[in-house]
Amino acid sequence: MHGRMKEDVKKLWENVDRVSLTVDAWTIENSTVLLGITVHWVDDKWVYRERVLALREIVGKHDGESMASIILQALEEFCLQPKVYVVTTDNDTANKKMLALMARKIKNVNPTFSTRRHVPCVAHIMNIVIQAVIESFGIPSTQAVELEEGDETRTVNHYDNDQDNELGDMFSASDDNDGAHRPLCLGDAITKVQTLVRSIWSST
């Protein structure tokens, strides 16, 4: 039954020249890291379509090599290596290595795919910006949200492994004397947001 369903899924993009991927990893209980892969395409009737391609555990180190291995296996399973056009991810630095390995491995069947086909997630970038602006006012970011369900209250933790995102210390400033980070004032935050908006508008 699994094999028949897989063949039915393959037929969805059988006549499609290009598909795009969204890739994201997150941590759940017991430090288990899952990698989700979604495939997106436009069918012959110009209807936007998407399917979850895979949801798999990253065994071992959570790095670009491990993620690339999982993605490449899924692409091979569903005959998508020649069709991949762009890949959207968050700003974790491991994604850069992942894209480089993917490009090298599928070069023979998909010579146009390269690291330039990487599309960072705008929503993720804006989330980082907004959190940084809020923190600049001295308001600590919350790592847990209390959800009431009947008489029970449970805590849902937000896990984010993006320690080295490209924005990095964009919204922090250091003192000239000791290098310690200090909260930015409102004027600093507005200037940074204006700079970011100008960069986005001037980019391709």
Q: Are 171 and 189 in contact (CB under 8 A)?
A: yes
Among 53-67, 130-144, 154-168, name the most confident range: 53-67
| pLDDT band, very low/low/confident/very high, at 134 (cuts 50, 70, 90) | confident
Mean pLDDT lowest among 16-25, 117-126, 148-157, 184-193? 148-157
| pLDDT band, very low/low/confident/very high, at 133 (cuts 50, 70, 90) | confident
Maximum distance among all Cα pairs of the chain, rounded to whole angstroms: 67
- Spell 79-108 as b/e; 16+ CB within 10 A means b: ebbebbbebbbbbbebbebbbebbbebbee
In 3-state terms, what secondary structure has residue 60? coil
Region(s) of the chain under CATH 3.30.420: 2-120
Q: Are 68 and 102 in contact (CB under 8 A)?
A: yes
Class of domain 2-120 as given by CATH: alpha beta
Query: Closest by alpha carbon to 132, among 91, 92, 183?
Result: 183
